[in-house]
Amino acid sequence: MWPEAGICTERTLYVKTEGPAAVSTSRREIQFAAAGSADFGRWFNAFNAEKWKNECALNDLSLLLTGEGTFELSVTLAPRDRSWDTVINDVVTLDAAEPLRIDLSHLLSDPFPNGLLFFSLKAMGQGMLTDACWQTQMAPQRQPDLAIAVTTFKRETYVQRTIERFRTFREASEIGRKIRMIVTDNGQTLSDLIPADKLPEGVTIVPNANLGGAGGFTRGLLQARDTGASHCLFMDDDASVHMESIERTWIFLAYATDPTTAVAGSMITETHRWAIWENGALFFTRCLPRFMGTDLRSQKDFTKMELAANKPTPWNFYAGWWYFAFPVDCAEHLAFPFFVRGDDVSFSIANHFNTVSLNGVVSFQESFIDKESPQTWYLDLRSHMAHHLSLPSLEVGSMGVLKIAAWFMLRNLPRMHYETLSAINLAIEDVIEGPQFFDQNADMAQRRGDLKELTNDEAWKPIARDQALPPRRDTHPPVWYRHLMKLTLNGLLVPGFNRLGKKITLHASERGHIGYMWGASEITYLNTDQNKYYTVRHSKASAWRELRRFFANAHAFSKKYPELSVQYRLAYNEYTSEPYWRAKLGLTTHAQPHQEAAE
């Protein structure tokens, strides 16, 4: 893979050059003068031999190099908890007329340990590298018919760009005709913009009611199932992925020995395109991203992550729907009607996939930092509670579920996010209504309006050019002071604290770090671009109102828990069934596309 404008141009994630070596990303080649070198032992281009051996029974492997000139070739094997070995160090000559094949099959068996493989080139004189790939001559287990399911809502510009990128990829790729795209149009706006006769080959647009990601991706999955796809790939509408990631996914699914194998794409934010935000995640009372913060610019750090990820995934592993490819027949349970947030968690846990991650298979996303709002807290809590009520494997009892809600409250009380506290209470009340609430409010129309109405202080506002802000707090207060403020619930038990507390400014990325907030009675938050802000202020009336409401809700939930647990478990099987969703989406028989390009 190569750096790509608009996706990721952090070059050291793909190749690291030294000396007289020049990279052309447009022509996808590297030109060398004597002593120039290129190290492809980077996250996007390393080969995880251990994973391919374990999951695909790989016993044949070659490195193919295309170019011109004479080079020193080094191949390195990086095993777990051992010294790295240079397993090949030789002088090779590349001929533009024919790729050079270096057989590495012997590295896949004893005495060589499992690990990652890297290669690097050092030029002996003028030279050029135009292509490199890891290749096997083994026959695949299957030829996947992969349907990419994209869900969109009135983001026409993003979708049109995604469709065009997919068209270019499909025409150029050797496996392009084995991959197609289904665009579920929740906003029902694309048909007018992209007439059927203008759609590229292999692309289908399906108008759909706006039932969020849960309804949109389910519609795409049903369309994939009805049209004979063997595998489905859930992917975001802006397709901030390298198209080669899709190709790598298809190849892995083709060779996987376990037919239940699924591929979970990692996620990186657009704020720091060199750092893993999530490489799969675990869920039990809360979402725990795996390997968050791993610096992919560091060969040591990403190697450690990849080797750790080779171990079997825990039972509570889940894959985000920004990029998740899975076998259609193994999806026994479809999405629960959450609208958004949480649908991907239960989908992974309830179905029996053998989920793996692959280096270089990643989606670049807008940062979650600025997206946090009362609505996201509402959606997160109600899905967390519903998961534990619905899935026997997540049984924690009434007190266990209430601890989750209490944690949500306690994260926001010292931050003075009283509108978020109100949204959290609303989430508990909706869960207490029973699973039928989710069915009756699958479009979230009423609740979206309710949450928008209650969000005033915590809504981002433009900063005026001459607007003065409180002092920036860059460090946590002293430990003794933080402990003192914890005893007072950050001033809630101190008379007149709205006058005694500090007025400070924090970056949005620090909203989750409670340590900064102790002793503050007014906090102004700046967004990532520092062109918007909002301010929250200490209010005893608001805090006690929401606390009293929470305790009342907790009592009601505890009293009703046995009944709710039975209701949710029964409803989960119904609401995640194919007949339920076909009826919900108005599909009396097999789903039919509204627009489809002729093959």
Q: What CATH number is attached to the domain comprising 51? A: 2.60.120.430
Contact 237, 365 (CB under 8 A): no
**CA–CA distance, 359 with 290 (Å, rounded to integer):** 14
Do 386 and 334 share a structural domain? no
Average pLDDT for runs of 10 along the chain of length 599: 95 97 96 97 98 97 97 97 96 94 96 97 97 96 97 91 93 95 94 85 94 96 97 89 96 98 96 95 96 97 97 95 97 96 96 96 89 96 98 97 98 97 98 97 96 96 92 94 95 95 94 93 94 96 98 98 97 97 86 45
Question: Token pair 């794409």 is at which residue?
Answer: 265
**CA–CA distance, 463 with 531 (Å, rounded to integer):** 6
**CA–CA distance, 117 with 79 (Å, rounded to integer):** 9
Residue 141 lies in a domain: no
Burial class from Cβ neighbours inside 10 Å (0-12, 13-18, 19+) for residue 428 reads: buried
pLDDT computed for residue 593 by the predictor? 47
**CA–CA distance, 132 with 134 (Å, rounded to integer):** 7
* Planar angle of CA 312, 318, 321, nearest 5 degrees: 130
Domain boundary among 307, 335, 365: 365
Do 430 and 319 share a structural domain? no
Structure tokens at 280: 């799969």
* Planar angle of CA 329, 332, 333, nearest 5 degrees: 135
Do 429 and 385 share a structural domain? yes
Residue 159 lies in a domain: yes
Structure tokens at 550: 């929470």
Structure tokens at 233: 């790939």
pLDDT computed for residue 590 by the predictor? 60
Residue 340 lies in a domain: yes
pLDDT computed for residue 598 by the predictor? 34
Domain boundary among 342, 365, 388: 365
Do 536 and 412 share a structural domain? yes
Residue 576 lies in a domain: no
Do 339 and 268 share a structural domain? yes
Distance of CA 215 to the CA centre of its chain: 18
Do 226 and 361 share a structural domain? yes
Query: Half-sphere exposure of 474 toward its Cβ, with a 13 Å CA cutoff?
Result: 0
Do 231 and 121 share a structural domain? no
State the CATH number of the domain containing residue 279: 3.90.550.60
Do 222 and 73 share a structural domain? no
| DSSP at 394 | G
| DSSP at 458 | T
Domain that holds residue 319: 146-365
Length of the chain in residues, anyone?
Answer: 599
**CA–CA distance, 267 with 34 (Å, rounded to integer):** 38
Residue 571 lies in a domain: no
CA distances from 37 to 92, 127, 507 (A): 14, 10, 41
SS3 230: coil
Query: Is the bond preceding 111 in cis, omega lying within 30 degrees of 0?
Result: yes
Question: Token pair 């675990």 is at which residue?
Answer: 282
Contacts for 572 with CB less than 8 Å, ≥ 6 apart: 333, 336, 346, 350, 390, 391, 435
Residue 92 forms beta bridges with which residues? 71
State the first-to-last Cα distance of the chain, in angstroms, to the nearest integer.
29
Do 285 and 178 share a structural domain? yes
Residue 131 forms beta bridges with which residues? 66
Residue 314 lies in a domain: yes
pTM value is 0.94
Residue 590 lies in a domain: no
**CA–CA distance, 284 with 306 (Å, rounded to integer):** 23
**CA–CA distance, 336 with 577 (Å, rounded to integer):** 9
Do 531 and 416 share a structural domain? yes
Contact 577, 222 (CB under 8 A): no
pLDDT computed for residue 33 by the predictor? 97
Residue 547 lies in a domain: no
CB atoms within 10 A of CB 483: 11
Residue 89 forms beta bridges with which residues? 74
Residue 278 forms beta bridges with which residues? 267
Domain boundary among 341, 365, 389: 365
Structure tokens at 235: 């992917």
Count: domains in the chain: 3
Query: Is the bond preceding 462 in cis, omega lying within 30 degrees of 0?
Result: no
CA distances from 444 to 341, 422, 553, 569 (A): 12, 17, 21, 22
Structure tokens at 213: 């990601």
Do 114 and 190 share a structural domain? no
Do 263 and 170 share a structural domain? yes
Q: Which of 58, 108, 104, 57 is closest to 79 using CA atoms?
A: 108
| DSSP at 442 | T
Structure tokens at 484: 């003192």
- Pairing relationship of beta strands 281-283 and 146-152 according to DSSP bridges: unpaired
Distance of CA 480 to the CA centre of its chain: 39
Q: Which of 534, 475, 470 is closest to 508 using CA atoms?
A: 534
Q: Which of 62, 85, 79, 83 is closest to 113 using CA atoms?
A: 79
The DSSP string of 276-296 is EEESSEEESSSEEESSTT-BT
